[in-house]
Structure 1
Amino acid sequence: MNTIGIKELQTNPAKLSKTLLADEYMLITRRGEPLGVALPFDNNLMENGLKRWMSLKAFKNGDISLGQLAKTLDMNKHEALELLGELNIPFADYDLAEDLETLDELFPVS
């Protein structure tokens, strides 16, 4: 495996390009700690894991809806919800305290 520090990558980006063109991957580090992995783009990579990871990440970030996640992963919404449950990814993101405050405003206790 090829490894490059973030500072070296900034000064010598051609090293990364050469690695990717050679159909190899590179570990990018910062102060000796793994920061990320650069992979050559290829459809097999997308279909064998990266597509799923990217889709789940986009859902967690709120960039795509449950329906979009399901469609991307060739699932129905029920299957997508089951997957989210298995991975402990919340499918609803809300602030309970804020919701309770809103209810108090709508229905004040006399």
Structure 2
Amino acid sequence: MQTFSIRELRERSGELSRTAEQGQLSLVTRHGQPLFVGVPFTEELLRAGVHVALATRLFQSGDLPPGRAARLAGMKLADFLAYVSSQGIAVVDYDPAELGEELAGFDVLPPNTGD
């Protein structure tokens, strides 16, 4: 495992990416203390479920819309939304006032006559 200080990343970014391409982990430190681990994306890693975790995180942060997150996770949209909901993550992010306005709109819809 290669170790890089946070200050070295700018000068050694090429070395960091080569390490990842070789399938090796990298440790990034700040003031001599571990800060994060760089984990290369491999088929083995993806089979282990990291793609679901990454998709969940990107959806939760708002960086990916639900459809794209579901594709990244390799799941049907309904299954992905059920999964994130089971993890306590809101699948709909409405401001309470906006939600009230949306629901009020249903009250003014004409009744379905079945024609």
- TM-score, normalised via structure 2 length: 0.62
Give the letter for the 1:28 counterpart: V
- Tell me the CA shift for residue 22 of structure 1: 4.0
- Residue 87 of structure 2 aligns with which residue? 87
Structure 1 stretches of at least 4 aligned residues deviating more than 6 Å after TM superposition: none
Q: Does 1:47 align with 2:47?
A: yes
Unaligned residue ranges in structure 1 (runs of 5+)? none
The number of equivalent residue pairs is: 101
Alignment CA distance shift 1:11-1:45 (3 Å): same
Counterpart CA distance in 1 for 2:5 and 2:79 is 40
Counterpart CA distance in 2 for 1:54 and 1:5 is 25
Unaligned residue ranges in structure 2 (runs of 5+)? 106-115
Query: Percent identity at matched positions?
Result: 27
Superposed CA RMSD? 3.0
Counterpart CA distance in 2 for 1:18 and 1:71 is 28
- TM-score, normalised via structure 1 length: 0.64
- Residue 63 of structure 1 aligns with which residue? 64
- Tell me the CA shift for residue 2 of structure 1: 3.5
- Tell me the CA shift for residue 18 of structure 1: 4.7
